[in-house]
Structure 1
Amino acid sequence: MTVSVWREPVQDAWIDYNGHLSEPWYVMVMGHATDAVMDAVGLGPAYREAHDASLYTVEAHVRYLDEVAAGTDLEVRSWVIGVTGKLLWIWHELWAEDRLRATEEILGVHVQRGSSAPFPDDVRHRADAVCTEPPPEAGRRIGPLGEK
């Protein structure tokens, strides 16, 4: 089950010297999608303000699969693919013109007043309710550089 869909147009300032969307902007747009997932599971701005707590990204894996041209509309489809007492795994797919352009897997830890802390029960239940089987590409790593 898709937890959220985030849409955002490519800005001219995001285009690099090759005429395509530059690396950091893929991550920024998927960061906006992470915020939308946080809202969907109850970790939005009101929660952060009331509890001095948020989700911190501790690891991310981005795959740049295809170029994105100026003037393109982006769509990020997001899923929760894992949840524990303090951790949330999010999978993003960045689409443009009906083609998958990038993916990002995020591992976030719930932090309250500067330290990791368990999710409140209601947040954990919402995350569990939308959690889905991870795609085959999740959990990948960059391969070894050589025989060791």
Structure 2
Amino acid sequence: MSLATTILQTEVAAEWLDDNGHMYDTEYGRLFCIASNCLMDGIGLDTQGRQTYDCTLYTLETHVRYLGKVRQGEVLKVTNRILDRDAKRIHAFFSIYRADGQLIATGERLFIAMSTTTRRPTTLPEAVQKRLDTYGQLAHSAWPAAAGRPMGIRKGDEIASSG
């Protein structure tokens, strides 16, 4: 089982806001990128680990859902769960929460291990795989409802009016 691990906490900066006073879409993406780097650090692929193991992670695919708004000064917490993995790939699910616990965004990412010298896919080093073991892995039946969802307009879906 994969427990949600808090890997980042930050405060919304003024430069992250658009003209409506809400966080730019790109800043959600940036937070997911920073959280991905925190995950890399946590599994031993920090700067030293990337050099030692000749391995890094590249993002193959990402899917972001925007579920709420945040304003300047709000504290955000990013959690991570490992959905699936094999010898070369990691399927991770990140969630951003406001301080009050409201889920405001999710980011699903598929990573592949790459050699830092050849820039070709490689196997995750054994030490990295052992560190990944500490994160656990969710059984498919326990994945968050949003995980693995295709993007598109489903017939019968209606957009809720906000006012």
What is the TM-score normalised by the length of structure 1?
A: 0.90
Larger Rg: 2
Q: How does 1:1-148 map to 2 (within 5 A)?
A: 1-98=3-100, 99-112=102-115, 113=117, 114-133=119-138, 134-143=143-152
1:125 Cα shift? 2.3
Q: 1:5-42, CA deviations, whole angstroms, 9 ceiling, x for partnerless residues?
A: 20111110110011100000011112111111111111
Whose strand fraction is larger, Structure 1's or Structure 2's? Answer: 1
> SS of the counterpart of 1:130?
coil
Q: Is the 8 A contact 1:59 1:106 kept in 2?
A: yes
CA contact (8 A) 2:93 2:109 kept: yes
Q: Structure 2 CA distance, aligned partners of 1:140 and 1:128?
A: 25
* Cα root mean square deviation, aligned: 1.6
Structure 1 distance, partners of 2:41, 2:5, is 10
Give percent identity, aligned residues only.
29
Output the CA distance in 2 between the equivalents of 1:86 and 1:136: 25
Using the alignment, how far apart are the partners of 1:129 and 1:63 within structure 2? 27
Query: Number of matched residues?
Result: 146
